[in-house]
Structure 1
Amino acid sequence: MGLKYEPLVTESLAKQISETIRQAIVEGDLKVDERLPTEPELAARFGVSRPTIREALKRLAAQNLIRSRRGPSGGTFVNKPDSIEAQDSLINMTSLLTTMGEFDLPEIAEARRELELICVRLAAERCEPEHLERMRAEIEIQKNPDLADQDFCASDVRFHRTIVDATNNAMLCFMMSSVIEAVQPIVNLIVFRFWDRDKTVSQHERILSAIEAGNADKATEVFLEQMDDLQQRYAKAQALRDNK
């Protein structure tokens, strides 16, 4: 049975066309809500078949870059990017790559340490009362001696997510979603057996106190202390993995 080249060629053409249209959207040559040419028009302009155009449009729709509408005023239109959907996509992809071993624990620890350090400092400068209350609420949850390990890990994630939110920087919040909401929960469940809950709660209380006082230096000092402890837990978890 011989090789079938046509599907590969068609897919390549569709990919090239979708990337061309995507680039036009990214660069602003195609505006939000602008109507694209019809399938026959696109096929004629690119010199390809309509099925190839349909495949290219499917690729763009999967990236949420375009939408279709039926009726007399229908057609295919450029979508306005949705930051929430993009963030969810980033979280899901990062979670998948992490569980597949794309990133090792030292890389994760280094990335989180350096990125969240910025967030802690900004939180001390910009934190609002609502953020302080959210952090207090999580600390109270963490003090419950009957709290399950998984629930403690989830509360820890929410506490640090609130620190990120307290920066009031939309770009940082978007970027850190992959670190805090995708990677941290996975790593927490790996290292929880080495967790000193009381020490973690004490550190959270001191971080909160420093942020509330607007003392960025103290907040970062305690955060780095917590990251050093976490690094030790990472090392123990990695050693346990290596010995299996």
Structure 2
Amino acid sequence: MAADIRKRILDRDLLVTHTLPPEAELMVQYGVSRPTLREALRLLEAEQLIVIRRGGKGGAIIQQPSLDGAARQFGFLLNYRGVTLGDLHHARTIIEPPALASLALTAKPDQLVELKRELNEATHAIGDQNRHRSVLGAIRERMVELTGTTTTTMIMRLLQHVQDHQTTGFPTDRNGKLQVLSQKAHERMVDLIATGDAAVAESYWRGHLLEGRQYFGQRNAKQLVAGI
């Protein structure tokens, strides 16, 4: 029963914000008992595909699969497997440079204008270390998204989401020096994308990420990824 409802949600046969039929109707439709029905609904609720609301206007309401839910499970898995922050950062060096090189070959003028506008807005976050890191992370996600490769974008977002929820392992930057350097690196990256030179863009971003890894230090790089 859970598998059938899950498939119908993913096939968009059941739409977000719609409510499943009442329990009595579902029991007849699937030929199951009330305990079996409720166990199936608990499975779907644990997968965050439905939310169960109580009361007269309640019921099992359809939800779209969320990045938060996937990232939470991904974070648990990384933590269980003993993955370190250094490993998480290394994954970025594998994924981001080729993706941004691809964008250099396809970027349109309006996309470059958008990225520069977002970078300009990011300057206002300098001074708030966590917010600035999150804003630049969102810009990197957007750059990867603009390549048009959905799978790479989703992987990038999972990594970024897990990284954003780490409370340790990042150097303290009270005076904003690292934030300014990171801001300038992102601005330089957008300028390189605008030139259309994929090789130079890829090389520059890989170098930036490797340089950034040095700020982790050996101790921080060996810290385990914390579950979300």
Q: TM > 0.5 between the two?
A: yes
Corresponding position of 1:52: 36
Residue 38 of structure 1 is aligned with which of 13, 26, 33? 26
Code of the aligned partner of 1:215:
D
Code of the aligned partner of 1:204:
H
Pairs within 5 Å for 1:146-161 = 147-161=127-141
Cα deviation for residue 100 of structure 1 reads 8.1
Residues in 2 aligned to 1:208 and 1:53: alpha-carbon distance in whole angstroms: 53
Code of the aligned partner of 2:13:
V
Q: What is the DSSP-based 3-state SS (H/G/I as helix, E as strand, rest coil) of the residue aligned with 2:196?
A: coil
Contact 1:124 1:212 in 2 (8 A): yes
Q: What is the DSSP-based 3-state SS (H/G/I as helix, E as strand, rest coil) of the residue aligned with 1:191?
A: coil
Deviations 1:163-200 (A, max 9, x none): 112212223222221112x1332459632426633432
Q: What is the DSSP-based 3-state SS (H/G/I as helix, E as strand, rest coil) of the residue aligned with 1:109?
A: helix
Residues in 2 aligned to 1:169 and 1:42: alpha-carbon distance in whole angstroms: 38
Corresponding position of 1:72: none
1:122 aligns with 2:110: no
Residues in 1 aligned to 2:117 and 2:219: alpha-carbon distance in whole angstroms: 29
Cα deviation for residue 117 of structure 1 reads 2.3
1:212 aligns with 2:194: yes
Residues in 2 aligned to 1:188 and 1:118: alpha-carbon distance in whole angstroms: 28
Residues in 1 aligned to 2:192 and 2:84: alpha-carbon distance in whole angstroms: 31
CA RMSD across the alignment = 4.1
Residues 107 and 87 from structure 1, CA distance in 2 versus in 1: closer, same or farther, beyond 3 angstroms? Answer: same
Deviations 1:187-237 (A, max 9, x none): 596324266334323322221111111111111111111111122122355
Cα deviation for residue 120 of structure 1 reads 0.8
Residues 205 and 64 from structure 1, CA distance in 2 versus in 1: closer, same or farther, beyond 3 angstroms? Answer: closer
Cα deviation for residue 55 of structure 1 reads 1.4
Q: Which structure carries more helix by proportion?
A: 1
Residues in 1 aligned to 2:181 and 2:83: alpha-carbon distance in whole angstroms: 27
Residues in 2 aligned to 1:67 and 1:149: alpha-carbon distance in whole angstroms: 35
User: Which structure has the greater CA radius of gyration?
Assistant: 1
Cα deviation for residue 42 of structure 1 reads 2.9
Code of the aligned partner of 2:170:
V
Residues 188 and 109 from structure 1, CA distance in 2 versus in 1: closer, same or farther, beyond 3 angstroms? Answer: farther
- Which ranges of structure 2 fall in alignment gaps of 5 or more residues? 53-58
Corresponding position of 1:235: 217
Between 1:91-100 and 1:225-234, the stretch displaced more is: 91-100
Cα deviation for residue 102 of structure 1 reads 5.1
Residues in 1 aligned to 2:71 and 2:107: alpha-carbon distance in whole angstroms: 24
Contact 2:85 2:169 in 1 (8 A): no
Residues in 2 aligned to 1:67 and 1:159: alpha-carbon distance in whole angstroms: 31
Residues in 1 aligned to 2:26 and 2:200: alpha-carbon distance in whole angstroms: 60
Cα deviation for residue 58 of structure 1 reads 3.2
Q: What is the DSSP-based 3-state SS (H/G/I as helix, E as strand, rest coil) of the residue aligned with 1:58?
A: helix
Residues in 2 aligned to 1:145 and 1:51: alpha-carbon distance in whole angstroms: 51
Residue 113 of structure 1 is aligned with which of 87, 90, 93? 93
Residues in 1 aligned to 2:167 and 2:109: alpha-carbon distance in whole angstroms: 28
Deviations 1:5-62 (A, max 9, x none): xxxxxxxxxxxx63x546865998xx82499983145345xxxx43122211332355
Task: State the structure with bigger RCO (CA 8 A, min sep 6), 1 or 2.
Answer: 2
Pairs within 5 Å for 1:69-108 = 82=64, 85-94=65-74, 103-108=83-88
Deviations 1:121-146 (A, max 9, x none): 22112223343234323443455696
1:185 aligns with 2:164: yes
- Which ranges of structure 1 fall in alignment gaps of 5 or more residues? 1-16, 69-74
